């Protein structure tokens, strides 16, 4: 039996997100909204120093303050832990990973680290008592700069003999790389800095742990992207059996990777609830979250290209210093690896070498932030391609065209060992250039230059490919990742023919309820409104790998699709039995089974669902109920790709960069809901533009975060941005039956290099060849001054 072509398609429709009314009306409940009678409040005394020895904690005065229930130090809680805080990605066998506990015991390693837990009956009482706790420290020299860290002149962790946590290399053919550089007509050698970014999700982290009144069981409500993984990690770290833990992620207001983690506060709330036998809650303050929630990026990239005289790149060599921050969080060391395979970008290159040194510093730990490794890789190759074009006096679009992996080469085995599924990079570029009116933009740029117009025009092109859809479990094993990459789904048709979908994905802004209902409705020929999607509660959806790495559609959506297919297969058996015809004589059209060639003879799915429920007349060997469960492990990643073009105006007199236009052509394979796709691309582009122009976590010489509040850390809003001009190409992925690729990170991956390429392009005739991120007016102005002085 196959789908009938007559079936009305729902996949591909622009449908409004069913999630939004609840979010927009304030009806939805976030973790901090949950009313839990009798809940105690946890407030943390945090280290004010980046690196120090704890000499003494004096909590006597605080203990006698009103409402205080408990004040506990790291030593007091040490017996609560079955294991240190988890890092699930030991990228090398000899990776150094200093033991990390929720409360520091002897030393602190970043400003903001938790030192003392204060529990009181109200938030205000806990805050007051925390203010009365006196901690004496002996300050130690902090390690703050990555290029200093690599010298080991000072150590971030006193017990280690080096700041390096690991060195990881991918060097399939070193001789070929050497030869390519030896024989190159032209080489590029650049140093780029990926500044630290603060994820700044709209909802700060919040959690409440509720012990069951009978004792022994705990429900953990947390603003997390990973309820399933969190449950496993909470069990391993606290010794509480997994069976006694239920993790629920209520509505979650964004994460961007920052909620893909196991945090000290989650562990503390859990063990305090166990110890005190009462619910315990914690909600971070924004200024606290900017220090205590993970940061993103934080890399220094040494990027080299070898090329021949006509611009064909022959080798890419990358050396990376990656800032782990003070500790390895859940996937910290793996973040650079997600980019390690992609520094050659969309180009067909013969020789490749990548080495990454992961270094400890006395700063907030880093971890996955939207794109995780792939924006960094794309930035390096796309900036370097522009430099190469400039050296060869070629147009940036032309040099890209000459190097693209040709459309007919897919599936394409890359020099780094990946198999890219599908793509048409030429078409992406052509569409984007056309949409931008590239030739006219270049003419306008020349006109302004000739006229000495201080409003300089810059055009930046960036082409990207990413690997997402994490991930084939076997590949994850080869990278030493501590979990699988499958996803689970159950599809069940209830007696009244309403459909329930249970998914292991954990949406936090991506619109899964809408998308998953569309996949099922499309397959079953019913209305999406008849499909309920259940998620983010381990009691309801016991299996899952959660949401990150733009995996949810290509892995989780596929699992749902396959489970729906199985339900139809079972329904077919029942229908054939009821109708007394052979299975192969039936076709499924418009939510009914009908006899091929006799459309009047049909049995609706609704009738079969009821039959499966009463089980009065089922065929032999067919179990009651219309339900199927799947755990699907993808055979490969998916490889979304695209071309982005930024058009900026740089004011020569002030250094101000205005993003005038932004054109993006993305290929995420077949689109389930183009409106959601566009929304994802909008958000992603905004985050990449933010890195290019606005955001940077700034530290002073003692390791204090200088812009810990959102008054100082500039997160752009719609007011700073033009209306994005979006287009797409579609090369369906052959790795899954839906033909889909991820889109959740694509915008972020393509955008920062497009914007910086545009800024440098605007100033190139002055002799400017690079502009570090973020391209603040001050920075751009001083580049203009230096370039003008050097002329």
Binding site for ligand MCN (CB under 6 A): 201, 254-257, 370, 508-512, 515, 547-554, 557, 668-673, 676-677, 680, 683, 740-745
Which residue, 386 or 546, has its beta carbon nearer to ligand MCN? Answer: 546
Q: Tell me which DSSP letter residue 398 carries.
A: H
CB of 495 closer than 8 Å to CB of 687: no
Which residue, 20 or 159, has its beta carbon nearer to ligand MCN? Answer: 20
In the complex, the smallest distance separating the C-beta of residue 483 from ligand MCN, rounded to whole angstroms, is: 15
In the complex, the smallest distance separating the C-beta of residue 546 from ligand MCN, rounded to whole angstroms, is: 9
In the complex, the smallest distance separating the C-beta of residue 379 from ligand MCN, rounded to whole angstroms, is: 17
CB of 767 closer than 8 Å to CB of 710: no
**Residue 150 CB coordination number (10 Å):** 16
Strands (E), 113-222: 114-120, 134-139, 164-170, 186-197, 206-211, 218-222
The Cβ-side half-sphere exposure at 82, using a 13 Å CA radius, reads 13
DSSP letter for each residue of 226-246: -HHHHHHHHHHHH---GGGEE
Which residue, 668 or 692, has its beta carbon nearer to ligand MCN? Answer: 668
Which residue, 62 or 506, has its beta carbon nearer to ligand MCN? Answer: 506
CB of 739 closer than 8 Å to CB of 732: yes
In the complex, the smallest distance separating the C-beta of residue 559 from ligand MCN, rounded to whole angstroms, is: 12
Which residue, 460 or 688, has its beta carbon nearer to ligand MCN? Answer: 688
Q: Write out 538-602 in H/E/C secondary structure.
A: CCCCCCCCCCCCCCHHHHHHHHHHHHHHHHHHHHHHHHHHHHCCCHHHEEEECCEEEECCEEEEE
Helix 374-391 and helix 746-763: axis angle, to 10°?
Answer: 30
Whole-angstrom CA distances from 529 to 297, 517, 526, 569 are: 40, 8, 8, 23
Whole-angstrom CA distances from 8 to 5, 518, 631 are: 8, 12, 28
In the complex, the smallest distance separating the C-beta of residue 564 from ligand MCN, rounded to whole angstroms, is: 15
CB of 585 closer than 8 Å to CB of 543: no
Whole-angstrom CA distances from 32 to 102, 255, 285, 510 are: 21, 15, 12, 21
Which residue, 130 or 338, has its beta carbon nearer to ligand MCN? Answer: 338
Phi, psi of 241 (to 5 degrees): -60, 140
Which residue, 165 or 550, has its beta carbon nearer to ligand MCN? Answer: 550
Which residue, 179 or 710, has its beta carbon nearer to ligand MCN? Answer: 710
Which residue, 345 or 557, has its beta carbon nearer to ligand MCN? Answer: 557
Going by C-alpha positions, the residue among 763, 497, 510, 749 that lies closest to residue 641 is: 749
In the complex, the smallest distance separating the C-beta of residue 655 from ligand MCN, rounded to whole angstroms, is: 31
Which residue, 743 or 764, has its beta carbon nearer to ligand MCN? Answer: 743
In the complex, the smallest distance separating the C-beta of residue 683 from ligand MCN, rounded to whole angstroms, is: 5
Phi, psi of 777 (to 5 degrees): -55, -40
Going by C-alpha positions, the residue among 262, 208, 257, 206 that lies closest to residue 234 is: 262
Q: Tell whether omega for the bond before 471 is within 30 degrees of 0, i.e. cis.
A: yes
Query: Would you state the torsion angle of the CA atoms of residues 476, 478, 482, 488, taken in this order, to the nearest 10 degrees?
Result: 30
Which residue, 538 or 680, has its beta carbon nearer to ligand MCN? Answer: 680
Which residue, 255 or 365, has its beta carbon nearer to ligand MCN? Answer: 255
In the complex, the smallest distance separating the C-beta of residue 725 from ligand MCN, rounded to whole angstroms, is: 19
Q: Which residues pair with 491 in a beta bridge?
A: 501, 628
Distance CA 597, CA 580 (A): 16
Helical H segments across 152-306, by residue range: 174-183, 227-238, 264-276, 286-292
Query: Would you state the torsion angle of the CA atoms of residues 576, 581, 585, 590, taken in this order, to the nearest 10 degrees?
Result: -50
Residue-level length of the chain: 791
Which residue, 331 or 399, has its beta carbon nearer to ligand MCN? Answer: 331
In the complex, the smallest distance separating the C-beta of residue 544 from ligand MCN, rounded to whole angstroms, is: 12
In the complex, the smallest distance separating the C-beta of residue 423 from ligand MCN, rounded to whole angstroms, is: 13
In the complex, the smallest distance separating the C-beta of residue 733 from ligand MCN, rounded to whole angstroms, is: 9
Three-state DSSP state, 643: strand
In the complex, the smallest distance separating the C-beta of residue 441 from ligand MCN, rounded to whole angstroms, is: 29
| Contacts for 178 with CB less than 8 Å, ≥ 6 apart | none
Which residue, 668 or 775, has its beta carbon nearer to ligand MCN? Answer: 668
In the complex, the smallest distance separating the C-beta of residue 35 from ligand MCN, rounded to whole angstroms, is: 25
In the complex, the smallest distance separating the C-beta of residue 468 from ligand MCN, rounded to whole angstroms, is: 7
In the complex, the smallest distance separating the C-beta of residue 344 from ligand MCN, rounded to whole angstroms, is: 22
What stretch of H or E contains 627?
Answer: strand 626-632
Please calculate the CA angle 132-133-136 and round it to the nearest 5 degrees.
130
Which residue, 311 or 469, has its beta carbon nearer to ligand MCN? Answer: 469
């Amino acid at each position: 039996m196959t789908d009938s072509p007559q079936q009305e398609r729902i996949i591909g429709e622009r449908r409004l997100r069913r999630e939004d009314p609840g979010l927009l009306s304030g009806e939805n409940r976030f973790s901090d909204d949950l009313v839990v009678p009798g809940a105690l409040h946890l407030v943390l005394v945090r280290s004010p120093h980046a690196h120090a020895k704890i000499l003494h904690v004096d909590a006597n005065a605080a203990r006698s303050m009103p409402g205080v229930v408990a004040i506990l130090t790291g030593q007091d809680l040490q017996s609560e832990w079955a294991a240190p805080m988890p890092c699930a990605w030991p990228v090398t066998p000899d990776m150094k990973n200093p033991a990390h506990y929720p409360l520091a015991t002897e030393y602190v390693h970043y400003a903001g680290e938790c030192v003392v837990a204060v529990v009181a009956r109200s938030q205000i009482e806990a805050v007051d008592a925390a203010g009365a706790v006196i901690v004496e420290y002996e300050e130690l020299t902090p390690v703050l700069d990555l290029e200093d860290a690599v010298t080991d002149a000072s150590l971030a962790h006193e017990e280690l003999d080096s700041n390096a946590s690991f060195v990881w290399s991918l060097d399939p053919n070193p001789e070929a790389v050497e030869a390519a550089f030896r024989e190159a007509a032209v080489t590029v050698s650049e140093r780029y800095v990926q500044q630290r970014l603060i994820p700044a999700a709209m909802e700060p982290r919040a959690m409440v742990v509720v012990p069951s009144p009978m004792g022994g069981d705990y429900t953990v409500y947390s603003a997390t992207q990973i309820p399933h993984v969190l449950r496993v990690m909470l069990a391993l770290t606290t010794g509480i059996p997994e069976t006694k833990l239920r993790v629920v992620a209520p509505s979650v207001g964004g994460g961007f990777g920052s909620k893909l983690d196991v945090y000290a506060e989650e562990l503390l709330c859990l063990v305090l609830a166990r110890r005190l036998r009462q619910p315990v809650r914690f909600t971070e303050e924004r200024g606290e979250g900017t220090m205590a929630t993970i940061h993103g990026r934080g890399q220094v990239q040494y990027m080299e290209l070898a090329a021949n005289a006509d611009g064909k790149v022959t080798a890419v060599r990358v050396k990376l210093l990656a800032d782990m921050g003070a500790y390895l969080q859940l996937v910290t060391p793996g973040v650079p690896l997600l980019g390690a395979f992609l520094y050659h970008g969309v180009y067909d290159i013969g020789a490749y070498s990548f080495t990454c040194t992961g270094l400890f510093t006395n700063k907030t730990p880093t971890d996955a932030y939207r794109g995780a490794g792939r924006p960094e890789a794309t930035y390096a190759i796309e900036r370097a391609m522009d430099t190469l074009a400039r050296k060869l006096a070629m147009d940036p679009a032309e040099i890209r065209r000459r190097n693209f992996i040709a459309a007919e080469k897919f599936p394409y085995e890359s020099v780094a060992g990946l198999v890219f599924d599908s793509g048409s990079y030429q078409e992406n570029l052509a569409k984007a250039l056309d949409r931008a009116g590239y030739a006219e933009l270049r003419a306008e740029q020349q006109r302004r230059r000739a006229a000495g117009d201080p409003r300089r025009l810059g055009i930046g092109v960036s082409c990207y490919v990413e690997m997402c859809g994490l991930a084939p479990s076997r590949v994850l094993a080869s990278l030493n990742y501590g979990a699988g990459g499958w996803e689970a789904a159950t599809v069940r048709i209830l007696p009244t023919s309403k459909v329930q979908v249970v998914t292991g994905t954990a949406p936090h802004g991506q619109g899964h309820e809408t998308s998953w209902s569309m996949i099922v409705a499309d397959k079953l020929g019913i209305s999406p409104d008849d499909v309920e999607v259940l998620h983010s509660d381990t009691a309801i959806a016991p299996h899952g790998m959660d949401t990150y790495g733009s995996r949810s559609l290509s892995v989780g959506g596929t699992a749902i699709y396959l489970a729906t297919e199985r339900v139809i297969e079972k329904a077919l058996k029942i229908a054939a039995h009821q109708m007394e015809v052979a299975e192969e004589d039936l076709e499924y059209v418009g939510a009914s089974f009908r006899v091929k060639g006799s459309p009047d003879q049909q049995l609706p799915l609704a009738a079969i669902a009821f039959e499966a429920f009463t089980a009065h007349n089922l065929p032999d060997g067919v179990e009651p109920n219309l339900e199927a469960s799947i755990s699907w492990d993808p055979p490969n990643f998916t490889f979304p790709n695209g071309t982005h073009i930024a058009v900026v105006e740089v004011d020569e007199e002030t250094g101000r960069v205005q993003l005038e236009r932004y054109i993006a052509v993305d290929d995420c394979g077949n689109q389930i809901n183009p409106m959601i796709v566009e929304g994802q691309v909008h958000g992603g582009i905004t985050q990449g533009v933010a890195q290019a122009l606005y955001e940077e976590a700034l530290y002073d010489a003692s390791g204090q975060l200088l812009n810990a509040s959102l008054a100082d850390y500039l997160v752009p809003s719609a007011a700073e941005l033009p209306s994005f001009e979006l287009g797409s190409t579609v090369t369906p992925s052959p790795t899954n039956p839906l033909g889909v690729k991820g889109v959740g990170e694509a915008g972020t991956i393509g955008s920062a290099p497009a914007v910086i390429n545009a800024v440098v392009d605007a100033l190139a005739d002055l002799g400017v060849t690079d502009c570090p991120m973020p391209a603040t007016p001050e920075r751009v102005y001083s580049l203009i001054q230096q370039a003008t002085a050097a002329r």
